Chains A and B, each alone.
Chain A
Amino acid sequence: MVNLPPQLSDYLFRQENLSMPVRRPPGTSWVYSKAASWRVWAQRFSFIFFLALAFGLLFISRGNYAAVERLRARALDFFAPALDAMARPVVLAENALQRVNHFINLQAENEKLRAENARMIQWQNAAIALENQNRELRSLLNYKAEPALSYISARVIADTGGPYVRALIVTAGREDGVREGMAAMTGEGLIGRVVEVGEWSSRILLITDLSSRIPVIIAGSGEHAILAGENRPNPRLLYLPQDAVVHVGSRVMTSGHGGVFPPELPVGIVTSVDKGGIEVTPLSAIGRINQVRLVDFNLKGGAFNPMAGNIEAGSRPR
């Protein structure tokens, strides 16, 4: 083993000297220059090799091969702890800020909540009356009660894809019962669907993503349309019938067509209607989601009631 003088080895193994024509330092043997020129070629070859490999992978991944999908799901599990660790300080800071904010607005918020509470009590009475009526009508029709839907709660640990893919990574996977295609919701409404499932983490493609296409229905008018994501904050309605009249403020819900989502999941509200199209603002503040609920609807079957999860098991009519 030849021990090179420190300055020389430094000179030889620095790339700046390697990518240029090799200049032999005075007083050194030709062996060193040979070694250096070999390294230049090795470096060029590795560049071409890895570039070709990357192009090959790009071509292969276009085919949606199962092996690539599996690798992606495995990688998701592998990197989830690191992403989670990175996300925690942000969540802590966010919570602390929220607490300060709440403390400052305590009085105003209290009044708002009192007013809201009074309104909610009225709604509750209405709901109880309707529920009783509904039960009586169902018993008249011999209607078979729908089984309760199950929800899986998960924490958001990453917001990925930048301007190209709008997706979230959450901390629930196959072990928790998550399956591909499940609807992802917040308390307010639909946010996307599960597209990739690892053992303990999964990925949700948001409704704002470019490739997201959801069959929806406009509440009130009953018009069917497709809600298409554009990687912008708000998705748009496509394929509406020519004579359809859509107003700003109309609610948009899933139609259940195509079987991807159950019907009547709240999605958003029409916020602008112009020549450029009809824009829908999602009900959930998609940029600020902390927790999601993944909805298991395929297993249970039947019509879907988005309010089911909000009613405690004990209070549900049997």
Chain B
Amino acid sequence: MLSAFFQRLDLGVRRFVPLVTVLAFIFLGAVRWPVPYAGAISPSLGLAAVYYWSIHRPDLFHPVTAFACGLLYDLINFLPFGLTAIVYIGVHQLVLRQRRFFAGQTFYVLWAGFALVALLASAWQWMVVSVYNNLWVPVEPVALQFFLTLAVFPLPAWLLIRLQRVALSQG
């Protein structure tokens, strides 16, 4: 009886792995690194996690989760409320519709897909923030962040693959 309860609890907790990783990556992205200018170009790790889970476990990562994570990102980062929520929901839906394409592909294809997603996300955020401020946001920091996000993508992806194997292999 008790063991059945713990088994259910264990399974229940495991269902939150995607949400928890996205949140952890969002918080990690806000950490102050003791390197000049690092904060302005810190990679969008949250986006990488949203992309990964939307492909690999969309059953555990719903539009409402994407929406909530995006709002949280906007709150923490003092961005227009809803800006990143749109990005996360959009990425979730876009990737979901292309899941057949991603199935069984190599990691490089996953990476290339992420490049496109991150590019669209950056362009959207750049546009909205420019409209909000009534002036063009300088492109270099945005471009630097995009390239850095792209360059480090294998690291969060590797972590998430390991985590998925360890925690969600039965799911």
A and B: real partners?
yes
1/0 contact trace for B70-97 toward A, CB 8 Å?
1110011111111101100110110011
The answer to whether A61 and B62 touch across the interface, beta carbons within 8 angstroms, is: no
Complex Cα spacing A88 to B135, Å: 36
- Within the assembled complex, what's the spacing in Å between the Cα atoms of A13 and B142? 38
Chain A residues with Cβ below 8 Å from B64 are 46, 50
The chain B residue sitting closest to A98, CB to CB, is: B34
- Taking the nearest CB of chain A, how far is it from the CB of B65, in angstroms? 10
Given contacts A83-B76, A86-B31, A210-B135, contact A162 B44 (CB under 8 A): yes
9-residue interface stretch from B4-12, B107-115, B126-134, B156-164: B126-134
Q: Give the dominant DSSP class at B's interface.
A: helix
Q: Which of A57, A160, A233 contacts B85 (CB 8 A)?
A: A57
A55 x B32 contact (CB < 8 A): no
Q: Which listed residue (B67, B75, B86, B133) contacts A79, Cβ 8 A?
A: B75
Q: Does A75 contact B (CB under 8 A)?
A: yes
Q: Report if A241 contacts B (CB, 8 A).
A: no
Q: Assuming the A-B contacts A15-B58, A79-B75, A287-B35, are A62 and B80 also in contact, with contact meaning beta carbons closer than 8 angstroms in the complex?
A: yes
User: A58 touching B81 by the CB < 8 A rule?
Assistant: yes
Chain A: number of interface residues, binned into ranges: 35 or more
Instruction: Flag if B42 contacts A54 (CB, 8 Å).
Output: no
Task: Please report the C-alpha to C-alpha distance between residue A49 and residue B82 in the assembled complex, in whole angstroms.
Answer: 13
C-alpha spacing A196/B92, complex, angstroms:
31
A163 adjacent to B81 (CB under 8 Å): no
Which size class do B's interface residues fall under?
A: 35 or more
A161's partner among B34, B37, B67, B79 (CB-CB below 8 A) is: B79
Once the chains bind, are B140 and A46 in contact (CB under 8 Å)?
A: no
B40-72, CB under 8 A of A: which get 1 and which 0?
111010000000000000110011101100111
Instruction: Report yes or no: B128 in contact with A58, Cβ–Cβ below 8 A.
Output: yes
- Most A CB contacts (10 A, CB to CB) among B32, B44, B96, B141 go to B32
Residue pair A233, B36 in contact (C-beta under 8 Å): yes
Residue from the list A83, A94, A211, A232 in contact with B34, Cβ < 8 A: A94
Q: Is A145 interfacial (CB-CB < 8 Å)? A: no
Min CB–CB distance B12 → chain A (angstroms): 15
* Interface-centre pick from A75, A160, A231 (highest chain B CB count, 10 A): A160
Q: Give the interface segment out of A165-173, A179-187, A271-279, A300-308.
A: A165-173
Closest CB in chain B relative to A13 CB, distance in Å? 6
* Residues 234 to 273 of chain A near chain B (Cβ within 8 Å): none
Also in contact, A165 and B63, with CB within 8 A (given A54-B85, A56-B82, A231-B138): no
- The A-contacting residues of B in range 21-43, CB under 8 angstroms, are 27-42
B165 lies within 8 A of chain A by Cβ: no
With contact pairs A19-B96, A82-B27, A162-B145 given, residues A196 and B78 touching in the complex (Cβ less than 8 Å): yes
**B79–A54 contact, CB under 8 A?**
no
State whether A51 touches B129 (Cβ < 8 A). no
- Please state if A58 and B82 are interface contacts (CB–CB under 8 Å): yes
Give the interface segment out of A23-31, A132-140, A151-159, A309-317.
Answer: A151-159
The residue from A47, A61, A159 contacting B63, defined by CB atoms under 8 A apart: A47
Interface string of B143-166 (1 = CB under 8 A from A): 011000000000000000000000
User: Chain B nearest CB: distance from A307 CB in Å?
Assistant: 27
For B28, B72, B89, B138, the residue with the greatest tally of chain A CB atoms inside 10 Å of its CB is B89
B168 within 8 Å of A (CB atoms): no
Bound-state Cα–Cα, A301 to B39, Å: 35
Query: Across the interface, do B67 and A53 meet the contact criterion of CB distance under 8 Å?
Result: yes
Task: Say yes or no: B39 contacts A164, CB within 8 Å.
Answer: no
Which residues of chain B are within 8 angstroms of A116 by Cβ–Cβ distance?
Answer: none
- In the bound assembly, the distance between CA atoms of A158 and B32 in angstroms comes to 5
Hey, which chain A residues are within 8 Å of B35, CB to CB? 287-288
Contact in complex: B86, A58 (CB < 8 Å): yes
Whether the pair A164, B82 counts as a contact (CB closer than 8 A) is: no
How far apart are the CA atoms of A160 and B79 in the complex, in Å?
9
Can you name 5 A-B pairs with beta carbons within 8 Å?
Answer: A49-B63, A54-B82, A58-B80, A58-B82, A210-B133
